[in-house]
Homo-oligomer: A and B are copies of this chain.
Amino acid sequence: MTSTRATLQQVAERAGVSLASTSRALHGSGASKAMVERVRAAAAELGYNVDAIGRSLRMGKTSQIAFAVADIGNPVYVEMMRGIHEVLAPHGYRVVVMTTGDTAASTAELVRSLSGGFVDGVVVVPLRTDDELIDELRQAPVPVVVIGRAMSDRGISSVSVDSSAGIGEAVRHVHSLGRQRIGFLNGPLDTTPGSSRQRGFDAAVGARDFSAERVAVEVADDFTVAAGFEAGRRLLAGADRPDAVVAANDLLAIGVLRAARELGLSTPRDLVVTGMDDTELGQVYLPRLTSVSLGSAERGRTAARLVLELADAPDAPAQQVVFEPELIVRESTVDGGAR
């Protein structure tokens, strides 16, 4: 908190040269060796640092990218942010975290605020989507990359993963273990992940080579451990208790495991459970959680690369990247599963 920062003008005066030459000597090209040396010396004496705002205004570029999610704190988003940060930092970009709120309207509102021009691009993870939001995304004044939902609208870049298929894999996995009473624990159906995972489950149990004694579906209020515990209790209550539960994400899966334990069920003997997202939490849980990896960090990295490309070449065409999910088997479905 000392004095005020030195300006380029002051450096110029100290070096006894013009403002233009000073700028060129420090950051540009076309300055003589002598000039560069002289200006550098003056800058060093004054402890000069270029002002990011002044430069941004002149260059029309902020070197900032926004990452917009409903609620930072969800481990999946944190993973993504790490990936994004990892790619962006070496290019001199800073990451600004923004909170969208969990409705489509509040997300649209946030996207609108981007026209404040404080970022060069945005990676957004919409929890819920509607036409207004799509419109807003298409018309945003900066490059936008959407994570989490394949954009049918060709004008919007997206990085998604076929979570439907991932649920299918999980269902086939527990089925192949001989489980015949299969429960599906989903989160709110009006969210993007909720609806696609529901589709995946319905497709899997509707497949021709699939037969089960019983299929049950329960919907939790939220994608959290607490909600999973509550809904899990309902799912496991009653006479015809499932011997396998496929959960829509790791947090719900852990909620179910909690509920199962309270009922005195042993995992994986009495009940097998699968999660989705392959979070660190699941990896170290007891039992280690079988989970469908959606490659969160990798999606983050890819989204960051995309947004960089678009920021450099604003007229580049939008791209849709789709990843394949991967089932990772651990102790919650197979005794002594992979460590």
Chain A interface (Cβ within 8 Å of chain B)? 1-2, 5, 47, 49-54, 56-57, 62, 64, 72-73, 75, 78-79, 81-82, 85, 89, 94-99, 112-113, 115-118, 138-144, 225, 254, 257-258, 261, 280-281, 284-286, 314
Contacts and interface: CB of A to CB of B under 8 A. Distances in A.
- In the complex, the count of this chain's copies comes to 2
A117 B314 CA distance: 27
Given A79-B73, A225-B284, A1 B62 contact: no
With most chain B CB atoms within 10 A of its CB, the pick from A50, A98, A284, A314 is A284
B285 A50 contact: no
Given A1-B141, A62-B53, A99 B85 contact: yes
Contacts of A98: 94
Contact of A97 (B1, B52, B85, B138): B85
B52 A81 contact: no
Contact of A51 (B52, B117, B144): B117
A278 to B, nearest CB: 15
A209 to B, nearest CB: 35
A286 B285 contact: yes
A141 B51 contact: no
A116 B2 CA distance: 15
With most chain B CB atoms within 10 A of its CB, the pick from A57, A79, A118 is A118
Nearest to A51: B117
A314 B51 CA distance: 19
A85 B96 CA distance: 11
21 contacts: A1-B140, A1-B141, A1-B314, A5-B141, A49-B116, A50-B116, A52-B118, A53-B53, A53-B62, A53-B118, A72-B81, A78-B78, A85-B97, A89-B99, A94-B97, A94-B118, A95-B97, A257-B286, A258-B286, A281-B284, A285-B285
| Nearest 4 pairs of A and B residues by beta carbon | A52-B118, A49-B115, A52-B116, A286-B286
B284 A258 contact: yes
A2 B79 contact: no
Contacts of A64: 96, 118
Given A85-B72, A141-B2, A285-B286, A53 B56 contact: yes
A65 to B, nearest CB: 10
A315 B170 CA distance: 59
Given A5-B141, A53-B56, A285-B285, A96 B96 contact: yes
Nearest to A315: B1
Contacts of A72: 78, 81-82, 85
A94 B65 CA distance: 12
Nearest to A229: B284
A109 B254 CA distance: 41
Contacts of A52: 116-118
A50 to B, nearest CB: 7
A94 to B, nearest CB: 5
